[in-house]
Structure 1
Amino acid sequence: LLGVCAGTLGWTWQSIEYDNNFLLGYNDVGHFAQRVVNTANGNGVLLESPVLPMFWDHFNPGLLLLVPLWKLFPSVVLFFVLQALSLASSAFFVWGIARQQRLGRLSALLFGLAWLAQPVLGQMNLAYTYGWHPISLAIPLMLAAIWALLAQRAWIALILVIFAMSMEEGVIVVVCLFCAANAAQSLWPLRPKKLDSSHSHTVFGLSMLAWLILTVSFGIAFMMVYRWSGLAEFQTARFVSLGGNALEVLLSPLLRPAAFWGSLLRWDKLCFVLSLWLPCFLPGLLRGWRVLLATLPALLVLLVWDHRPASSLAFQYASTLLPLFWLATFRGSQLCETTCDDTHSPFRSPFKAVGIAAGALTTSLILSLYVGQVSYSSPTLWDVIAVTYGAHDEQRRSTDADGRWLTEQLQQIRSDGTAALATGRIAAHLVGNRDVETVGQYLLRRPQLAGLSDRLDNPIAHYRWIVLDRREGFQQTADQIARVEAEARQAGFQVIAEQFDIVIMHR
């Protein structure tokens, strides 16, 4: 309980601190938060921009559940708290799953602490300064669903997993693979059978037919989401190096071996996988290989994706796989516990469950020292801070004079609540205004914005406030900032404040 409370408070404070210092970007925290805001204000259901469909990048109807919370507490801090609580409270479910697998209290406690200490969890909170992502809300829901499944509460597990799927489409894929693996496993039940029910051809209490029905249902659900939402074009463009369509991508190991294997067989990809697996402690994780197999297709996609963040520990792309990694560890730990004292077993393990749990905690603590994002970790975000404000000028805007001045100016813009256009780090502070856009995305979407009936071929005139930090190099270039500033001046915007290379314009 103390660990969960410390994690929740620590990660919340971390997000607030980075936000106060203008080190969180509008992508992603602002993107998703503004969809909740627009829904609450009647400006379109889960719309980020009037020129984009509802689910143009990710399928997350579960954001509707946050609309009442925003009305009660209309602050971006709400999303920081929700993410921190989701990441930390998952340790409760990790403890519960370990106990469901008949592991001892000490083992379950150590596993819960190992969950909190694993480096990927700390990195997910800031996500390379992209901040909150709805997928973090899916993690405790997935773990709770596993707990319910182990407790023979299949219907509760199904409801929980549907809510998890509503947070991000990747959950649908992972759950579908899990169901398919369980359907196959029902043909070759685990030994010893005592891990499951007395019915040798059931897995987690469900028959092969039940798992097949779930596999087909979730597979169809994903294809429908992929086909009819706006994310197909956005996501498939990231596989262009492997093929022009889904079939070519699937056959890319044969059709484009240089691109496929060249992307897969790299040291950085191996380090990424080990950073995810080592905190689970390999003797336990690999012993639960039947569960682990379900994660391999999704993990392979992340490794060959022509999108560098997908195989980076600093982002949240692998987060949906974490519940299955840890379930595999618990299954493996239970097997090790069963065979540890059996000198005649060819599968005898030298580790008891408590040893695996202690190994997981130790490994997590050591790895977090080097690649984590907790209080004792080595700095891992220097590169993105340098890109934002320069290699030799790390900003502490909440305490520096420019930060205090900018914060005071933004309070007036937030109080006004009208449409605003800003550089990315500043735009994150304007979540809640009627319409918010960043410089880089405004220029990208300008042709579509100019076609709207209320923009009159002059889309920049739609905004009442423009706030530009000429030194900010994250999410836009200096040339793009200059272009927007020149367009704003030509459109009749007046400079009402200008200091510290920051210009505030109003129309």
Structure 2
Amino acid sequence: MRDAFQKHKYLLRTYLLFLSCYSLLSFFRHFSLQSGVYDLGLFTQWSYLSGIGEFWTPSSLTEFIKPALGDHFSLLLIPIGQLFRLLPSAYTLLFLQSAGLALLATLFLRELFQSFSSRHSRRMITIGLLLNPFLMNSSLNDFHPEVAFAFLGLAALIYLRRKKYLVSVVFLMMFVASKEAMAFFAIGYSLYSLLRRHVWLSAAVMGFALYYFAFSSSIVDAYQSYASTRYGHLGDGYVDILASPFIRPAHFWSAFVNRDSFLYLLGLLTPFVALYRWPQVIPAVVAVIPLVFANILSESDVMRSPIYQYQIPVLIFLMVAALDSAKCTISPYSSTFSLARIRLYLVLSVISFSMLTQWSFFPTRYLQHWRLAPSLFEYGREYSSPRISVWAHERIASHFSGRRQIFYREKDLLDKDFDILITPAIQPAAAPSNLLEKLRNFVFSYGDADEFMESENILKVARSRGYKCHGLRIVVCKKY
């Protein structure tokens, strides 16, 4: 009983550690003017619109093209919208995502630690997971529902491994509701269950995944065809793309087998490879193939970049591969992995973190605008009412997006009148004031160019339209 209490106490501390790390870093990034219209600004506005029941009202940030459910048919925006009504702030979304990522990490550790008795080993594995570049990058990459609710995908696979099928399928369907492309995750789930000899479950989930993707993508395609924008080089439409290995094999395999694909796979496997055992990893590795193929074959580089959220569904199966490897221990009281293997895992985690995480942004970008951030934070509170019409500079529009309409393009200044126009002032490149800044600038080649140069033209247009502007670092313009 005491051991169980200590284990739960350790997991609670671990969850709070991950939550604090992810939330504070993502808050600091947003506070430092580093979040963007795509995607935090969009999801902030979509959350507001969903909260008032306007799921099909197009976002003004997309020039009135995409509504909330027309982007990726994320049904989870509906409950997110209700939460946003209670706490209308972009920080609410960032905290929600941080809490979800922390829960994803803690669920993985809880399952893995069932095979460990050594507290020292647990600590090393926890530190290694905290340094996982894909988790860290996703917490710093604005907001995405499939990242915030990725723990549902892991929970679905965990309960499948426990043979609690109904609970597993409920979690799976909830996760698929985060984004239409998570139907590929469901296909992976189907393959995983097939290799674990759950044939009927596999067939049912495969049928559901294919039907759901066909249904949801038909809605999304009315606003943007991802088949043509990301896979158009392989064919016209999803059916033609799926047939391309047979119709155009040379073209298909040249897109798959290349140096970039090798580096991508190497980066994915490096953090967890020391925890893998053969052949226990086979079901999860086979299951992740549809997701990996979708990323590798995309014409969009962002789907292979460790910076963006597309690696999170892949990461879930890589975690399960480690859990399956841990299950092959002979005794529940023995350590699954040797201390040398765990140390190698920690070393590889450090290497992956240093190579794939944008850690250099902290001493450069994230500290770049700290003088601007406090006044922007105050203006964000002062003009938070959705009844105020706002035009905001692209770099700060996400701070004011909790409203039915918000604009950031210069052409809108000529077409519409706004209650508030807000933009950073031109920030001249300042000479370093101390040795630490000089060293930083030397290492990162930072601080050489003026920023927000377009603000001069923005303010010129605003004054010509009759706005009166004031402010030194953040300029606010109003019509009196």
**What's the TM-score bracket when you normalise by the shorter of the two chains?**
0.7 to 0.9
Structure 1 residues 118 and 304 mapped into 2: Cα distance closer, same or farther (>3 Å)?
same
SS at structure 1 position matched to 2:407: strand
Superposed CA offset, 1:305-358 (max 9, x none): 1111100000001111211111122223434x459xxxxxxxxxxx84766555
Q: Which ranges of structure 1 fall in alignment gaps of 5 or more residues?
A: 187-202, 340-350, 386-393, 447-457
Equivalent pairs, count: 435
Structure 1 residues 285 and 250 mapped into 2: Cα distance closer, same or farther (>3 Å)?
farther
Structure 1 residues 272 and 168 mapped into 2: Cα distance closer, same or farther (>3 Å)?
same
Task: Give the corresponding residue for 1:379.
Answer: 360
Task: Give the corresponding residue for 1:104.
Answer: 116
C-alpha displacement at 1:299, in angstroms? Answer: 0.4
CA contact (8 A) 1:466 1:506 kept: no
Structure 1 residues 367 and 46 mapped into 2: Cα distance closer, same or farther (>3 Å)?
farther
Bigger relative contact order, structure 1 or 2, given CA contacts below 8 A and separation 6+? 2
Task: Give the corresponding residue for 2:219.
Answer: 228
1:396 aligned to 2:368? yes
CA distance in 2, matches of 1:498, 1:352: 60
Task: Give the corresponding residue for 1:432.
Answer: 402
Larger CA deviation: 111-120 vs 427-436? 111-120
SS at structure 1 position matched to 2:76: helix
SS at structure 2 position matched to 1:279: coil
Return the match for 1:365 from 346, 350, 357. 350
C-alpha displacement at 1:423, in angstroms? Answer: 2.2
Return the match for 2:416 from 437, 454, 461. 461
CA distance in 2, matches of 1:248, 1:44: 31
Structure 1 residues 358 and 498 mapped into 2: Cα distance closer, same or farther (>3 Å)?
same
Task: Give the corresponding residue for 2:6.
Answer: none
1:245 aligned to 2:237? yes
SS at structure 1 position matched to 2:470: strand
Task: Give the corresponding residue for 2:21.
Answer: 10
Superposed CA offset, 1:380-419 (max 9, x none): 5799x4xxxxxxxx86333x2x444444444443257423
Task: Give the corresponding residue for 2:191.
Answer: 180
Task: Give the corresponding residue for 1:302.
Answer: 295
Kindly provide the amino acid, as one letter, of the partner of residue 241 in structure 2. Answer: V
Task: Give the corresponding residue for 2:431.
Answer: none
Return the match for 2:200 from 197, 204, 209. 209
C-alpha displacement at 1:367, in angstroms? Answer: 1.9
SS at structure 1 position matched to 2:403: coil
Kindly provide the amino acid, as one letter, of the partner of residue 137 in structure 2. Answer: Q
CA distance in 2, matches of 1:124, 1:175: 21
1:136 aligned to 2:147? yes
How does 1:164-203 map onto structure 2 within 5 Å?
A: 164-183=175-194, 185=195, 203=197
Kindly provide the amino acid, as one letter, of the partner of residue 264 in structure 1. Answer: F
CA contact (8 A) 1:63 1:134 kept: yes
Task: Give the corresponding residue for 2:384.
Answer: 414
Superposed CA offset, 1:161-190 (max 9, x none): 11111112232211123213533x36xxxx
Task: Give the corresponding residue for 1:320.
Answer: 313
Superposed CA offset, 1:282-302 (max 9, x none): 561653122211111220121
Return the match for 2:106 from 92, 95, 105. 92
> Taking structure 1 as the reference length, what is the TM-score of the superposition?
0.74
Kindly provide the amino acid, as one letter, of the partner of residue 215 in structure 1. Answer: M
Structure 1 residues 493 and 414 mapped into 2: Cα distance closer, same or farther (>3 Å)?
farther
CA distance in 1, matches of 2:24, 2:461: 38
CA contact (8 A) 1:37 1:67 kept: yes
CA distance in 1, matches of 2:19, 2:180: 26
Structure 1 residues 286 and 495 mapped into 2: Cα distance closer, same or farther (>3 Å)?
farther
Structure 1 residues 416 and 310 mapped into 2: Cα distance closer, same or farther (>3 Å)?
closer
CA distance in 1, matches of 2:148, 2:104: 10
Task: Give the corresponding residue for 1:269.
Answer: 261
Superposed CA offset, 1:125-174 (max 9, x none): 112xxx12111122111122222222222111111111111112232211
Kindly provide the amino acid, as one letter, of the partner of residue 139 in structure 1. Answer: A
CA distance in 1, matches of 2:338, 2:180: 34
Identity %: 17
C-alpha displacement at 1:231, in angstroms? Answer: 6.7
